[in-house]
Amino acid sequence: MDPLTIDTVKLSGDALVIIDQTLLPNEVKYLSLRETPEICEAIRLLRVRGAPAIGVAAAFGAYLAAYYAPDAGLENTFLDACDQLAASRPTAVNLFWALDRMRSAFAKVSAKSPDEIRSALRAEAQAIMDEDIEISRSIGRFGLGLLRPGMGILTHCNAGTLATAKYGTALAPVYAALDAGLSSLRVYCDETRPLLQGARLSAFEMVSAGVDTTLLCDNMASSLMKAGKVDIIFVGCDRVARNGDAANKIGTSGVAILAAHYGIPFYVCAPSSTIDPAITTGADIPIEFRSPEEVTELWYQKRMAPEGVKVYNPAFDVTDAALITGIITERGLVRAPFEEGFAKLGLLGKR
């Protein structure tokens, strides 16, 4: 299967259609969602995941709330749906960015007829999706400029086509390389505990695309780097502060620390929608904490930890800007000082 034929998230008729990522790689199943609570649940349970894909799903979810609302209650229903969707996950800024765009689109046409409002909201949600695809392509092109034949690429979590509307962020340079005929790359996927996005999703994408792919447990990354197998690291992100601190899936900061020790370039692939101009440093980024059961029993036939044990399960950590070689955006590669670089590319404008 060509992973680029997968529709991670799209609007089909009167429903949001997503691939249920909790079932991959063993089952490819699409879900048709219409009601705000079930869309919120899909986001919370990671049936749809990845910051850009979450933003697209939320935009379509907001539109569908208006689509199904009675004319007399359209505004209240739409705004309430936006609030519910915003509460579904706290860290990925794309979620709030997309919903802010939908609210702004509503405000511009609020005096028009209900059908005109619905049409405008649908167009805005579709624009968010179309822009996401072009952004991923652009990140891929800039990342491709950093690659050479035979390089070993390490990635953490999944920031491929499954995390976006198409192509991905951290894996977009690999897809761009395939398009350019650069097929001799090796990709190493961290397993990414506790939800195994690297094992289940990134490895699935790369193997399906015909890439030389190796899976490793997270605590094997140092050994792999020391062995000289890794030439470059690409990771995605869910929120970037003005100073370049970047929140990504838990374990990313450890990869960055190891990369610094071994002298391996570490790049964050960040759509402009993940750069939050309201956040000065990573200390201001809210971190989601998830259920203890994800660690103690989710992937096991029997519980693998004693009853009563405490569990520390943050979904994300923050990589210090000092550990980041560069941040690849759709407008170009930014190096330190990051705030100055973001400003030069016009990435710190008001939301």
pLDDT digits (tens, 9 = 90+) for 114-158: 999 999 999 999 999 999 999 999 999 999 999 999 999 999 999
Cα–Cα distances in angstroms (integers) from residue 326 to residues 187, 306, 333, 337, in the given order: 19, 42, 6, 10
Whether 245 sits among the annotated catalytic residues: the reply is no
The pLDDT, as a whole number, for residue 351 is 47
pLDDT digits (tens, 9 = 90+) for 192-206: 999 999 999 999 999
Q: Is 36 helix (H, G, I), strand (E, B) or coil?
A: helix
Are 298 and 233 in contact, with CB atoms under 8 Å apart? no
Question: For the chain, what is the total number of helices (H) and then of strands (E)?
Answer: 12, 13
Residue 325 DSSP symbol: S
pTM for this predicted structure: 0.95
Q: In angstroms, what is the C-alpha Rg of the chain?
A: 20
Catalytic residue of the set 190, 231, 238, 317: 238
Are 120 and 105 in contact, with CB atoms under 8 Å apart? yes
Closest C-alpha to 157, from 197, 125, 121, 185:
197
User: Strand locations in 57-147, DSSP E?
Assistant: none
CA dihedral 333, 336, 342, 344 (to 10 degrees): -90
pLDDT at 35 over 70: yes
The pLDDT, as a whole number, for residue 51 is 94
pLDDT digits (tens, 9 = 90+) for 221-232: 999 999 999 999
Contacts of 74-77 with CB under 8 Å at 24 or more apart are 74/114, 74/117, 74/118, 75/106, 75/110
pLDDT digits (tens, 9 = 90+) for 58-111: 999 999 999 999 999 999 999 999 999 999 998 889 999 999 999 999 999 999
**Pair type for strands 30-33 and 152-155:** unpaired
Mean pLDDT of the chain: 96
**Pair type for strands 186-190 and 152-155:** parallel
The pLDDT, as a whole number, for residue 350 is 54
pLDDT digits (tens, 9 = 90+) for 214-270: 999 999 999 999 999 999 999 999 999 999 999 999 999 999 999 999 999 999 999
**Pair type for strands 232-235 and 152-155:** parallel
CA–CA distance, 160 with 144 (Å, rounded to integer): 15
| Domains recognised in the chain with CATH numbers | 3-137 (1.20.120.420), 138-344 (3.40.50.10470)
Neighbours of 110 (CB within 10 A): 12
Neighbours of 279 (CB within 10 A): 19
